Structure 1
Amino acid sequence: MKIPSLICIILLSVFSPNFAQKDISSQISVIAEKEYPRLDELYKYLHANPELSNMEKNTSARVAKELREAGFEVTENVGGYGVVGVLKNGEGKTILVRADMDGLPIKEETGLPYASKITTKDDKGTDQPAMHACGHDIHISVLIGTARAMSQLKNQWKGTIVFIGQPAEEKVQGAYAMLKDGLYTRFPRPDYILGLHASASLPAGKVGYCPEYALANVNSVNITVYGEGGHGAYPHTTKDPIVLSAYLITQIQTIVSRQTSPLEPCVVTVGSIHGGSKHNIIPNEVKLQLTLRSYSEKVRQNTIESIKQICKGLAIAAGLPESKFPKVEIENETGFALYNNPELTEKVVKSLKSAIGENNVEKVPPVMAAEDFGELGKVEPPIPVCLYWLGTVAQEKYNESQATGLQLPPLHSSLYAPLPEPSIKTGVKTMTKAVIDLLADGSKKK
């Protein structure tokens, strides 16, 4: 082969799109490795110092500090303790990346050297243990790692990136609060919105994706069932709210089994029931707490209205006056189902595969857990969103679970302990690649 021909082949290879993609992925990997010691320190600080929903004062201050050091223009206290960091780099698209910041009122039992030993007050002033049992400490660490990578790779992209630390996700309040406080009027409105969530069922080093519906609507329902109490030895002289509550719990299950199509996901769970104070006293009231899950708005509304109808019907059947009909209180009046835009998801999946290899990217089924991430895109006009799953389980524990059927500690478990290093590095590599690729997308900014 002639030397000039060989040079031409080399030059064509170097400047081919595939080579360029590999080159960017390699640069991102180098940065992820270099930044990891600082990200590890950040993660362990966050893990040991969780703050509950709407109480994220110190966490948000740390996020703001880290984003400023990465070169972002930062605004604090957006929609509560929300943080918004903006980095502009010429003309182009705008991409928003979100991480949630709040912990959960759970006492950690992982035994990790950096385990949370925090006891704090919630927003009602009640003393509570606190733990990052949903991986939000991982999310923040990936956000900061991605921010540093994007800052160091400014020669590889043009446009604007908006990185946010969101409060109160566990109460499905923070996204709406930030929107209400001008997230898209005070700051650049994004063309695409990206996020990730820790997975307690995927091995660290892998990611999962789910196009279209991926997470469910959630409504919390408080029901007070009234009755006419009295002596337990004379139940015929009372109208027993405990018996009414038992009927109610049974009847509302027919909403799923007899009112909702078998093809439509729907969950009605009674998570709490409290009534009475002594063996031989029939109380005047019983309190129940329910969680409702669905994908479609039609199913969500039907479930709520059916609960109200069943409550009223049971009260009438028991002969209670209207003043003692059950009180039904609905929290989270809007739906939060996460719909991953299929076109955007397809683009993101290509980036994930180019960042960590096709074998490390899996399509996963939708789940009935809930997130308010999807609310960030439910504006007019709508903005495409995509959230993907980040594996956090040690490979040997995952293998053991697959071989024996032993249940891995799920999210919201006091035993959930993500494996930090491969998880955070994988998050930084995949998210950075996805953002750069979307900024380089040839379609014009709308």
Structure 2
Amino acid sequence: MSLRHHQGLLALACASAFSAHAAPSDLKSQIDTLVKQDEAQMIAQFKQLHRNPELAFQEKETAAQVAKALQEQGFEVKTAIGTTGVVGILRNGPGPVVMYRADMDALPIKEATGLDYRSNKVTPWLDNPSQPVMHACGHDAHTTWLIEVAKVMAQLKGQWSGTLVLVAQPAEELLEGATAMVNNGLYDFSPKPDVLVAAHVSPVYPADSVGLREGPRLAGTDQIDVELPGIGGHGSTPHVTKDPVVMGAMAVMGYQTIISRMLDQSKPAVLTVGAFQAGVNNNIIPVSATLKLNLRWYDEKVRERLIAGIKSVTQGVLVMNDMPDDYQAKYTMKGYSTPVVNGKAQTELAQAALVHQLGADKVLPGVPPLMGSEDFHMLASPYPDTKVLFIEVGSGKPDAYKNLIEKKQLPPAMNHTPGFVVELPAIATGARAVSATLSAFFNQPL
């Protein structure tokens, strides 16, 4: 089926959906008008956030801006949930509780975009007192959308009924922020959500479009630190030591066989060693080494096999190096998130709303399931019946999706790279898309 044919069928299907579930006839134009009149202000807000990124659990200034903006729109606001998280509640009569989450944190990356609003910020991070920081995943755009959505939904209170909960979440990049908010009193303040929505920039779609797809969207993930013990000493006498640098190198190579030799190859999985930390000087064999691992998976049994494989390989390395039995590896389980799955009902409703708001040619078929991960849906972890939806908002060049489909060519600077750029039309597109989607969930409860 051609893309044009797909868009034609999609427009017909969504027109039928909207005729069956009559939305306010002027809602589309009102959203467009409000976002259009705020576009210059939104872009200025986005650029300000981009210049001033804050790392995970350090998002104090960003959180303060969000809290102030929500209070100005009449939201009940609570701050410092999960360290720096912000929650705003707008009660507007009977109806569903719809929660929308935006993440705020940046990444420890030195920006190389050349933008006139690029980040030159440095901040203490781990062992680096001057770590460059960059919004290399679009969370500055996400925060901008949340602020504008608060304004749009407050001004359109006559067009929907229910309770809107807006969440500005810290530490998504650590995959810890959502769980931290749940554990730190989120639901002492917020009602249980019937629907939880998140939107994320994606450079594989043009910046005036969105991607949406039913079913599995993002992989589950674990962040694991493996500390290997050693027996340190002088670099000139390695024979009287147990070198954790060598053991770490052996472990890194051994871990690669977990994917290729221990797992069913029909089931997707990724194991990445993102950091190898050991030693401080040329001639000192250290007493330990730490490997920082990232796992991605869709099947829980695959996850279990990955973790078991890591422990098996690690123990094998210790045995091969004749480590005494009282020297054991230490495993620290950190960020964790289950896979993100878009259910049929919420995907169809959102698709109809997005086609109505943006046009059928701007609602693109989502790419196949990704091995990237998110933790927004962990906000609903206490409530398994909450429906979740993940929308991809284009942030790329006009030919990005065409190049992907026809040439299998990714954009030159993807998320988490020093050259990552959110094209500015994405700012208005995201605000329009999210406002329309939230309105649909209020007006056509699932």
Aligned counterpart in structure 2 of residue 184 of structure 1, from 187, 198, 201? 187
Q: How far did residue 181 of structure 1 move?
A: 2.3
Q: Structure 2 matches for 1:32-431, cutoff 5 A? A: 32-122=35-125, 126-228=129-231, 239-275=242-278, 284-332=287-335, 334-362=336-364, 363-395=366-398, 405=409, 407-420=411-424, 422-431=425-434
Aligned mates of 1:304, 1:414 — CA distance in 2: 31
Q: How far did residue 245 of structure 1 move?
A: 3.1
Given residue 353 of structure 2, which amino acid in structure 1 is its aligned partner? S
Aligned mates of 1:145, 1:63 — CA distance in 2: 10
Tell me which residue corresponds to 2:11. Answer: none
Tell me which residue corresponds to 2:12. Answer: none
Gaps of 5+ in 2: 1-17
Q: How far did residue 184 of structure 1 move?
A: 2.3
Secondary structure of 1:248's aligned partner: helix
Aligned pair count? 427
Confirm or deny: 8 A CA contact 2:400 2:411 kept in the other structure.
Answer: no
| TM-score using structure 1 length | 0.87
The superposition leaves residues 171-224 of structure 1 with CA deviations (integer Å, 9 ceiling, x where unpaired) of 112111211222223222211011100112211011112323212222222223
For the structure 1 residues 302 and 20, does the alpha-carbon distance in structure 2 shift closer, same or farther, using more than 3 Å as the test?
closer
Confirm or deny: 8 A CA contact 1:32 1:428 kept in the other structure.
Answer: yes
Tell me which residue corresponds to 1:6. Answer: none
More moved, 214-223 vs 52-61:
214-223
Aligned mates of 2:284, 2:64 — CA distance in 1: 52
Aligned alpha-carbon RMSD (Å): 2.7
Secondary structure of 1:439's aligned partner: helix
| TM-score using structure 2 length | 0.87
More moved, 236-245 vs 166-175:
236-245
Aligned mates of 2:89, 2:376 — CA distance in 1: 19
Tell me which residue corresponds to 1:11. Answer: none
More moved, 288-297 vs 423-432:
288-297
Q: Structure 2 matches for 1:424-443, cutoff 5 A? A: 424-442=427-445
Rg (Cα) greater in structure:
1
Aligned mates of 1:435, 1:168 — CA distance in 2: 24
More moved, 236-245 vs 360-369:
236-245
More moved, 108-117 vs 219-228:
219-228
For the structure 1 residues 173 and 20, does the alpha-carbon distance in structure 2 shift closer, same or farther, using more than 3 Å as the test?
closer
Gaps of 5+ in 1: 1-14
Q: How far did residue 19 of structure 1 move?
A: 8.3
The superposition leaves residues 394-433 of structure 1 with CA deviations (integer Å, 9 ceiling, x where unpaired) of 326777787794742111111111112x212111211111
Q: How far did residue 53 of structure 1 move?
A: 1.0
